[in-house]
Amino acid sequence: MVLPRLWITLALLITTSTACTSATNRGSKDNKDGQSLFGSDVQDNSKNCYVSTKDDRLKNFYANPPTQTPEAAPQAKSANSFVVAKDGVAMANVTDWVAKDKAKRGADSKYFRYAYIPFSMLKDQTSANAARVALFKALNSTAVYESGNYVGDDVSDGQGAVYAIDVRKLWGQANPDDGVAVYNCVANPLDKDGNVALRTGIISIERMSLANFPADQPVNAARLVYNLLFPNVYDVLIDTPQFQSDLLRDLGIDQIDYDKILAWVGIKDSIVFGPRVAKMVRTVDGRNYWASQDYFDGAEHTEMPYAHDVSPVPVLEGDDGWVTLPGRNNDGSYSYDQGAAEASEAWVEMRNGFLAYYIWGNAHQERGRAEQSFVIDPDNQVNGYLLTGRSCITCHKSGPQAAPNQMRQLVDAGTVTQDVEKAKEIWTPQTTLDQYYDETKSHFSAAMTQIVNQVSDDDPAQNASWIHGQGDEPIKFLVTYVEAGNLDGPTGSGPSSGQ
């Protein structure tokens, strides 16, 4: 398959910029009083991350989900202690630390890249810790083939200001026999015709050049996180194929039929204008893969079609488990006489406990963003688009969204009159769904625990809130910081961008 985007260089990780300066500014550039930048203007994230562009009826959709994130267990006082110099950190300090670390690593130095915490955030303990957590949460959220979570080495004399990042620990190692002079941190090689070579299951070389992420010029962590989760970069880093069927094949999920689908969920008012159908299957190594089917016509639907006009047994098409949604007639009823344009949002548990996110279009093909005709991301104050990577991660701050199975509620209430017994078999009871949700949440919390325990020296309550996805989301903190224009220069990539 030919993917021209593969020629996008890793310069996107450093130079993707935005003209937006209207987003909420959570921290001034000088921050002279040392007040916390993190959470100083926190939006209420107990509600659904996304709202209808036509009305506000979806705002409380997740306000009271059937299964809540458990109360954070008390955490022991952190063993970390980062002591920032009284005079703060300057770019000259960063450059000096990087040079010393490269010299120490010798021949292995080519595998290391460096990121530094924005200097203004270092003036406040919680802001600095939030930035560190966000940096390594974002990096590990792209390490799709790794089984554990990696935190780089603090090379700033115990100040937690600069981290050396071994790209081999995140995205695999280039084969020396490939003859590539400069190590490339992301994925499979292209053949002579520009096609992606056989997917080997480990990210290696040639998708993007590291020329603009040189080892001797560290990057601001806020800029790195922002660009790392940009769709053209994120989708490549998690090795997204062109079609959903290719991903399912890689996951060992072939020939999906009713027996392989472990859970069915029907939602009347989801993040789209109308109903959603979602289903869960398991990979060969036991990880959960969820995919939704959403109406893609921009029209507001008012009822679950399976509860009234058509059989409550969804119709599968092809081998990838795609559901044929019934279309809506002029009178508002549903039938299979009318076709329905549809799209899908999906996620799969990664081996390290985080989630990889995907958007599939009407032809089951990869998409980097959702169309605003059926969903927006109000946290994306640049243009409102829901983006793979950035939008998904900052909303799913504790892992899965514990959506209620409204279709099962209709079945139990006797609203469904066709194929009732089969409907009870298909639409999963809420108690079973809660077990699946909590299972994924526990993996996610364990992954966050690995990171928080290594990079934060905050109080136990704050650390627990990050681990369990309570309160403000740290990646969103850095993303908003960038969008608020807190980085100097046109791209925030130069030596002066230490804010």
pLDDT number for residue 464: 94
Residue with more model confidence, 6 or 356: 356
pLDDT number for residue 453: 94
DSSP string, 272-297: SSS-EEEEEEE-TTS-EEEEEEEE-S
Give, in order, the Cα–Cα distances in Å from 387 to each of 277, 370, 439: 21, 7, 26
pLDDT number for residue 151: 97
Q: Angle, to 10 degrees, between the axis of helix 125-140 and the axis of helix 430-455?
A: 120
Write out the two tokens for 336: 């299979």
Write out the two tokens for 170: 């995140």
Q: Using 50, 70 and 90 to split pLDDT, how confident is the model at 339?
A: confident
Give, in order, the Cα–Cα distances in Å from 177 to each of 174, 180, 196, 457: 9, 8, 19, 42
pLDDT at 141 over 60: yes
pLDDT at 480 over 80: yes
Q: What pLDDT, in 10s, does the model give residues 449-467? A: 999 999 999 999 999 999 9
| Of 151-155, 173-177, 319-323, 495-499, minimum mean pLDDT range | 495-499
| Of 221-230, 367-376, 403-412, minimum mean pLDDT range | 367-376
**Highest mean pLDDT, choosing among 12-16, 22-26, 354-358, 482-486:** 354-358
Q: Using 50, 70 and 90 to split pLDDT, how confident is the model at 145?
A: confident
Q: What pLDDT, in 10s, does the model give residues 181-205? A: 222 333 333 344 444 333 333 333 3
pLDDT number for residue 75: 57
pLDDT number for residue 374: 67
Q: In whole angstroms, give the CA distance from residue 463 to residue 429.
A: 34
User: How much is the average pLDDT of 231-256?
Assistant: 84
Q: Using 50, 70 and 90 to split pLDDT, how confident is the model at 300?
A: low
pLDDT at 51 over 90: no
Helix (H, G, I), strand (E, B) or coil at 352: coil
Residue with more model confidence, 437 or 5: 437
pLDDT number for residue 247: 87
The residue behind tokens 């069915």 is 264
- List Cβ neighbours of 155 (8 Å cut-off, separation of 6 or more): 97, 98, 100, 101, 114, 162, 163, 164
Q: In whole angstroms, give the CA distance from residue 269 to residue 253.
A: 29
Q: In one letter, which amino acid is 384?
A: G
- List Cβ neighbours of 219 (8 Å cut-off, separation of 6 or more): 13, 14, 113, 114, 115, 116, 213, 493
pLDDT at 497 over 80: no
pLDDT number for residue 216: 57
pLDDT at 263 over 90: yes
pLDDT number for residue 471: 83
pLDDT at 171 over 60: yes
Q: Are 454 and 466 within 8 A, CB to CB? A: no
pLDDT number for residue 196: 36
Q: In whole angstroms, give the CA distance from residue 253 to residue 249.
A: 5
Residue with more model confidence, 140 or 256: 140
- Other beta carbons less than 10 A from residue 312's beta carbon: 25
User: How much is the average pLDDT of 341-358?
Assistant: 91
| Of 7-11, 243-247, 349-353, 468-472, minimum mean pLDDT range | 7-11
Q: In whole angstroms, give the CA distance from residue 430 to residue 245.
A: 28
Residue with more model confidence, 473 or 249: 473
What average pLDDT does the chain have?
74
User: How much is the average pLDDT of 278-282?
Assistant: 93
Q: Calculate what percentage of the chain has a pLDDT beyond 70.
A: 70
Q: In one letter, which amino acid is 155?
A: V
| Of 30-39, 284-293, 321-330, minimum mean pLDDT range | 30-39
Q: Using 50, 70 and 90 to split pLDDT, how confident is the model at 272?
A: low
User: How much is the average pLDDT of 468-483?
Assistant: 90
| Of 30-39, 426-435, 481-490, minimum mean pLDDT range | 30-39
3-state secondary structure 71-107: CCCCCCCCCCCCCCCCCCCCHHHHHHHHHHHHHHHHH
pLDDT number for residue 8: 31
Q: Using 50, 70 and 90 to split pLDDT, how confident is the model at 255?
A: confident
Q: Using 50, 70 and 90 to split pLDDT, how confident is the model at 412?
A: very high
pLDDT number for residue 299: 67
pLDDT number for residue 305: 82
pLDDT number for residue 334: 87
pLDDT number for residue 76: 58
Where are the chain's structural domains?
A: 4-45+81-227+449-483, 244-438
Q: In whole angstroms, give the CA distance from residue 107 to residue 109.
A: 5
